[in-house]
Structure 1
């Protein structure tokens, strides 16, 4: 790992994160009744972190830690608020007795991540005394989480707490979710001969690509990391497309598996696939984009419903095992999505609205 960030905090923020107009987090457009938002800093390692706890009515807030070189601190706050709320709904819809939270670390994971920074983040999590439980996310690996866990009892996805890396279970959930969407749209869940445009070949995307290939699907792949694209071409015979054009591919399914907000005013009119189903979090740039997809006749698998496999593996697995129980619950994601699709069709509502309704019904019952 590289040396810690030694630039003083104020200089680091001014250099990498230009000032934004003064505004309270309570006035932020993504603040949706969050219970707690914590800003953390460690002088020695250079850690800058934001931990957002959205809702703990069902239990402690569980959600991964994302490390990203945000252009501004405001973007990091937006991500933490959006993603933590998404985790509340994801955990509720998955039937887990857990609330929703999320952490972000500001910095480039390829250059700024150090053992000291990860340990300092673990100390920040420990100070929250179990209200927030962390795990890996974009920019943070299973190995990184082992370092975090050395400083807190409230880290999951580690060898000591269960099955380790949750990525294979996230990919499995997305795979069965794609099959459910294909069945709803085409009348059969068979993927043989179907074309999938897969945007993003990270931990989850590459595993998902293998599952889709093994099921007989034709792949069109894209990623900003060219070696990953080359690997998919070599191993799966995939065709390629520029990452920014993946939504324009002629395909049966567009599977966004990179960062969020990719479904927006620019991309939605250009989507050619009749199904959008992928692993990325917070895919809708705004709620109204779910209605735009419906108006175009595109079946959307709500992200927090289809990508819940990883959080299920973290929540259900026990130290030393529990894989069968995890797989059974992950496989049920397909049934959950089928229910969402059917209810949305019956009520003539966008699928994300119906998914929200189901999650909110469970949250309301917990609050009584």
Structure 2
């Protein structure tokens, strides 16, 4: 456990077990230096408990960097509920998780993430106020997609010389709430879409509604395109997969896209511009953080413009230093977090 904490530079790691509801939960807190740790709650099956803890730890680390570069007075955290093979009462499980969050006395604020919904957040909210993206506050996914769309335009400008997406070929890996919303915005902007998802129904919907071209999941990364947009789970960019890429840039919504830091340098060596994931996908965090504080939609929208501005600044410095944008973003985030 401590090796996982050391690798991710965590402040704290909390575990909860409630046999009555089937709850097995992890809350990883990376930093509270700038404010309480905010990060979503994943409800997924994992091959083993160590994998769940490692996932929470790595995501908490990214959340701190995301909040720091988004200019939010927050730290980074993440929670994972290990999905049991059989569940009698989902509401009771999430209520138990709410009591777990309350026991941390405000050090961690949760939100929706992979496998959870606003209805789950409503159950959590029965036992703690340290929760956002409830039914009344709304799903952050559309705002994540809005930020990624703006980031893709900034990426196209930096790499291709124009932020006009008309006729650009974009390959989207993953058509969940964020990926599909992003596909809709790209289609409206005139982009040509290649799409893949393990859910054949989501792919069929994109084909029928957006005129997208379906591509098998194991073939998408090697498809010729202008921009690859990973929008599924993390770790998709490995030393092996980067060698298969036939794109000019990678800019997508997925968290922890790089399997290792060295992959960023491999992308740089191949001349593929990489949009640091925790910068381009910060729209959802901005929305839930400001909405939780009672900010207006105008304030939220204004703050979201910082995503493309930050990316443009990172790209400019990366070009000047001949380094990967991922390395530049990390250095900037660490300067905010650690001085």
Return the TM-score normalized by structure 1.
0.89
Q: 2:143 aligns with which of 169, 181, 184?
A: 169
| Counterpart in the other structure of 1:229 | 203
User: Secondary structure in 2 aligned to 1:135?
Assistant: coil
Map 1:213-362 to 2 at 5 A: 213-317=187-291, 322-362=296-336
TM-fit CA distance, 1:28: 2.7
Q: Report Cα offsets for 1:257-302 as digits up to 9, x if no partner.
A: 0000100022110011110000000000011110011011100000
User: Secondary structure in 1 aligned to 2:167?
Assistant: coil
Q: Is the 8 A contact 2:109 2:130 kept in 1?
A: yes
Which range is displaced more, 129-138 or 326-335?
Answer: 326-335
Equivalent-residue separation in structure 2 for 1:112 and 1:126 (angstroms): 23
Q: Report Cα offsets for 1:165-220 as digits up to 9, x if no partner.
A: 10010000000000000000111100000011000011111111100000000101
Distance 1:352 1:126, change over 3 A: same
Q: Is the 8 A contact 1:107 1:113 kept in 2?
A: no
Equivalent-residue separation in structure 1 for 2:249 and 2:99 (angstroms): 42
Matched residue count: 339
| Counterpart in the other structure of 2:74 | 98
Q: Is 2:130 the counterpart of 1:154?
A: yes
Equivalent-residue separation in structure 2 for 1:265 and 1:92 (angstroms): 28
TM-fit CA distance, 1:318: 5.0
Which range is displaced more, 325-334 or 284-293?
Answer: 325-334
Distance 1:113 1:50, change over 3 A: farther
Q: Is 2:26 the counterpart of 1:50?
A: yes
Q: Is the 8 A contact 1:30 1:81 kept in 2?
A: no
| Counterpart in the other structure of 1:73 | 49
Equivalent-residue separation in structure 2 for 1:57 and 1:318 (angstroms): 19
Distance 1:244 1:150, change over 3 A: farther
User: Secondary structure in 1 aligned to 2:240?
Assistant: coil
Q: Report Cα offsets for 1:325-364 as digits up to 9, x if no partner.
A: 1111112211110101110111111111100111111113
CA RMSD of aligned residues (A): 1.6
Distance 1:342 1:113, change over 3 A: farther
Distance 1:67 1:345, change over 3 A: same
Equivalent-residue separation in structure 1 for 2:22 and 2:96 (angstroms): 9
| Counterpart in the other structure of 1:130 | 106
Equivalent-residue separation in structure 2 for 1:146 and 1:300 (angstroms): 36
| Counterpart in the other structure of 1:114 | 90
Unaligned runs of 5+ in 1: 1-24
Q: Is the 8 A contact 1:40 1:50 kept in 2?
A: yes
Distance 1:78 1:363, change over 3 A: same
Q: Is the 8 A contact 2:5 2:57 kept in 1?
A: no
TM-fit CA distance, 1:109: 9.3
Which range is displaced more, 26-35 or 276-285?
Answer: 26-35
User: Secondary structure in 2 aligned to 1:317?
Assistant: helix
